Amino acid sequence: MSSYSIADNFNEYFQVRFANTKQLRQEAFKIRYGVYSKELGWEPENELEMETDECDDYSFHCLLEHRRTKVYAGCIRLIIPPLNDPSRQLPFEEHCLHSARTDVVDSTKFPRGSFSEISRLAVLDTFRRREKEKSVPYVLKDVDPNTIYSEEERRNFPNIAIGLYLAGIALAKLCNHQGMFVMMEPRLNKRLRRFGLPFQQAGDEMDYHGLRAMFYLDKDDFHSQLSEELLALYEIIYQDLSEQLNLIPFTDCTDK
């Protein structure tokens, strides 16, 4: 058994890819289709077998690539209002502000462009299923999950989702955002808190594909409470992304 840390193991088998081409973004849309349309039935099926919406045009997309096979295991996006239309609302603003707890955080007071929303995290069930499950998973590539991944590789599969969350947070950090929002289940928030991501519940619970609420993570908490091992993983992901893209960080022009 390897004595590597979580960060070393993760970095050996996976790499975060910034989806800076149409082809890479379409790989993310295909993963989302497999999860949100085919598996969960939350979005309608279509002939293109890609799940998209209007927010994709003003989002940064990331993929998680399995290094050896070049299979994309998962994806995430960070939604940011476009520079030429900063008044365009993020999904949580459009659908969830009526539930906002403004005593926790009032996003309407934030400068436009200074915050973002994590959305559409998806992981192929090939990388989520237990090895001994007998059902054949829905996969987007001709991959046999019973034979192609070693036991050592499979031990890293539970870290995929947290790696994607850290990628979204690293993007927000690179953008110099003062915070980020996400709609998620309260029980997921409890897990993320244990990892050192103290999202604050900033909205009342509502029924949207299950019980969900609006949560907020301030920039001061992007990585300050991560464990030593997860901080090392975050730093690897942040460095990878910083080398793949050039961003103009948000600057509040009212600052002296």
Residues 6+ away with beta carbon under 8 Å from 118:
76, 77, 78, 79, 165, 168, 169, 180, 181, 182
The predicted structure's pLDDT at residue 1:
41
The predicted structure's pLDDT at residue 201:
97
The predicted structure's pLDDT at residue 134:
33
The answer to whether 209 touches 122, Cβ cutoff 8 Å, is no
List, for residues 160-186, the tens digit of each pLDDT value.
999 999 999 999 999 999 999 999 999
Residue 239: strand, helix, or coil:
helix
The pLDDT profile of the chain, 256 residues, written as one tens digit per residue, is: 445 688 988 999 999 999 999 999 999 999 999 999 999 899 999 999 999 999 999 999 999 999 989 999 999 999 998 777 877 899 999 988 999 999 999 999 999 889 999 999 999 888 875 444 333 332 333 344 444 566 666 666 778 999 999 999 999 999 999 999 999 999 999 999 999 999 999 999 998 778 899 999 999 999 999 999 999 999 999 999 999 987 666 665 444 3
Residues 6+ away with beta carbon under 8 Å from 40:
209
The answer to whether 225 touches 198, Cβ cutoff 8 Å, is yes
For residue 215, the cross-strand partners are: 182, 201
Task: Please list, residue by residue across 153-166, b when 16 or more beta carbons sit within 10 angstroms of its beta carbon and e when fewer do.
Answer: beebbebbbbbbbb
**What are the distances in angstroms from CA 74 to CA 1, 88, 155, 179?**
26, 27, 16, 23
Which tokens hold the place of 194?
């244990």
The predicted structure's pLDDT at residue 152:
66
The pTM (predicted TM-score) of the whole model is 0.86
Please work out, in degrees rounded to the nearest 5, the angle formed at the alpha carbon of residue 70 by the alpha carbons of 65 and 75. Answer: 30
For 6-244, the fitting CATH number among 1.10.443.10, 3.40.50.280, 3.40.630.30, 3.30.470.10 is 3.40.630.30
The predicted structure's pLDDT at residue 231:
96
- The span from the CA of 239 to the CA of 114, in Å, is 22
- The span from the CA of 151 to the CA of 154, in Å, is 5
